Structure 1
């Protein structure tokens, strides 16, 4: 919906990229507190609070008439959504001690099913009404999930002041070179993913001058393929080398993204996006399983949250990077930079895991 939104609110790609960066930056900032506090308080406290805030933030986005209002909505969504995912992953690890790779694959794939559905909702809203109406089902569904968690979970709500123990967590994660380099690689992955999620349809529409439906189909394909690739890769990681799977996923993603940039036809471009998604989105469940096995059980939620804060926070610069480079030069140059980021990440993972 980005082209319609920028035209309606009268903003540039750079400003739109900064709005995405604001959302993702706050989302990233809350990852460590989410994990740490879910260890110290209760998973339910973080999950329901985060979803409630996100639902309210989407209401602000849907009604935004100015760039300032858009930024406020992005900030609320980023804050609310940031409280949710690390606590959710910690809950998955609590519930599934065996076949953890498969559990993480299914968990992360559920987000891709949501993204695929969102592409369809956006297409219908743009065709029949306006981009604002696409947020209505999102608000309703987010609130419904919060209510479902409230009813299902047997945990209590706990609201107490607790230390975040930032220094202890940082010392634990940065004491060896392996975690430091994995963090660099994961940051490059997140930088690429967030840039692609923000600008792929616009690249097809404005950069390659394809029909808008091509960008919508390609965006939906990212999540449709991810819904298959993530549980498949997660299941495989329970039985074969996670190192080989992670490196192969990044290399395949880099090769396919190169094809996305150079192919001239819409059909070939969408086909390249399918292969790109299969590679790129196979990476998270494999690496998250690897990390949860490596972290101490008593601090696993906080440790994963700390890493997510760093790599998602720095990765949030991805949309701003593409917006700025596409404004100053063109989309092709911006996307070639993303190809390079994936190649470097693959080399790092190959050497340190």
Structure 2
């Protein structure tokens, strides 16, 4: 009996060990999102340390995000050529180096430079990670991406708390420097573990190259008549692929516009107290655990049915959210926000799973990079559009626009499902 127990125990441990690539990839993504979400709560501390204005800090953070966005495509192309493991390890080491620079006292220009370096390092991860996980867990891609996105989302909950705790420490230097010391050290440890463990989980992963043929470079340059960037652009000749990218752009516009202004909308337009508005706003992120379920479901029933269901829920909830504004009912608005969160978060990992099923292996990294660049571009534009509309036409027309764009995304994906 003891021998049987020992065998079962070893079998269970071996089963869990197979998910080391997923856990390490998700932890690096958590760290990347943690670094991003830590900056806004630190603006007050930066002002105390450097004596700069909100405008200057906002511009510096915009630089961080622009570099992050700009890294999506080149990191994907590099992954196609030299392997996903190499790119992810390089990214986390770069981000960790940027964080460690902030440990010592230095001028404000060093802070800005470190932010840009961290933007580049963290920007090298997600696009490449989606493809890596689809290769490491081909039968459980949806579940893996659901876990990845869920852990990343909760970095937004942990980062502000960590900033508060760091600020309360009695140290000879500002507490936020200790925060970056820990983040940088953890990043280097994760990078080392990733380099040792993850190649074992990938087909043909020797020396950081993870294509099934052993080297993406052969595939990526095999067609002299269709070289370089032209191969990535050629994907958009496929109408179904282009339609899905359009749908994801519409979704990204809606989600980012709503996330940016939902608290202000609830106080200014719905007349709720600030504390109530913030509580409801938190519920939008708290339900992100649904990504685990939607990813798992997509592995079982297919990606498009789950995508359509998630987008339909997000659309209906967004329409209800705007329509119920005049009632001033916190309960009704909260239920609508939860519906938006369930639909939006449920869509995101399945979107990635659908894309990796659609894109050819040889150009998967760069192609995902193109799509993510478009999504992030739409997401970056959305707050500006909503802000301008809220001042010229009012908040409700601006949010009706958001409801309209997510409805377009739903209709496009429903059309893809109907013609599958």
| TM-score category (smaller protein) | 0.7 to 0.9
Q: In the TM superposition, what whole-angstrom CA distance separates every residue of 1:31-53 from its partner, at most 9, and x where no partner exists?
A: 12111212212334432443455
Is 1:43 the counterpart of 2:84? The answer is yes
CA distance in 2, matches of 1:189, 1:30: 21
2:89–2:195 CA contact under 8 A, matched in 1? no
Partner of 1:231: 292
Change (3 A) 1:288 1:332: same
Is 1:105 the counterpart of 2:168? The answer is no
1:28 pairs with 69, 79, 84, which one? 69
Partner of 2:399: 335
CA distance in 2, matches of 1:184, 1:113: 28
Change (3 A) 1:180 1:350: same
2:127–2:368 CA contact under 8 A, matched in 1? yes
- SS across alignment from 1:239: helix
- SS across alignment from 1:332: helix
Q: RMSD of aligned C-alpha atoms?
A: 3.9
2:358 pairs with 274, 290, 294, which one? 294
Is 1:307 the counterpart of 2:349? The answer is no
Alignment of structure 1 residues 22-101 onto 2, 5 Å: 23-54=64-95, 56=98, 76-101=117-142
Alignment of structure 1 residues 1-353 onto 2, 5 Å: 23-54=64-95, 56=98, 76-118=117-159, 120=161, 124=164, 137=179, 140-141=182-183, 143-154=185-196, 165-171=228-234, 173-226=235-288, 228-261=289-322, 262-263=324-325, 264-353=328-417
- SS across alignment from 1:210: coil
Q: In the TM superposition, what whole-angstrom CA distance separates every residue of 1:45-86 from its partner, at most 9, and x where no partner exists?
A: 4324434555637988xx9x99x9998787555433321111
Q: Deviation of residue 170 (structure 1)?
A: 1.0
Change (3 A) 1:189 1:89: same
CA distance in 2, matches of 1:188, 1:83: 24
Q: In the TM superposition, what whole-angstrom CA distance separates every residue of 1:182-207 from its partner, at most 9, and x where no partner exists?
A: 11111111112222333333433455
2:99–2:180 CA contact under 8 A, matched in 1? no
- Return the structure number with greater relative CO, CA threshold 8 A, min gap 6: 1
Larger radius of gyration: 2
CA distance in 1, matches of 2:91, 2:389: 33
CA distance in 1, matches of 2:252, 2:293: 20
CA distance in 1, matches of 2:375, 2:127: 13
* Equivalences, count: 339
- SS across alignment from 2:301: coil
Change (3 A) 1:117 1:240: same
1:33–1:305 CA contact under 8 A, matched in 2? yes
Q: Deviation of residue 298 (structure 1)?
A: 2.7
Of 28-37 and 212-221, deviating more is 212-221
1:50–1:84 CA contact under 8 A, matched in 2? yes
Gaps of 5+ in 1: none
CA distance in 2, matches of 1:92, 1:296: 15
Of 328-337 and 269-278, deviating more is 328-337
2:89–2:194 CA contact under 8 A, matched in 1? no
Of 180-189 and 199-208, deviating more is 199-208
TM-score (norm 2): 0.67
1:260–1:272 CA contact under 8 A, matched in 2? yes
TM-score (norm 1): 0.79
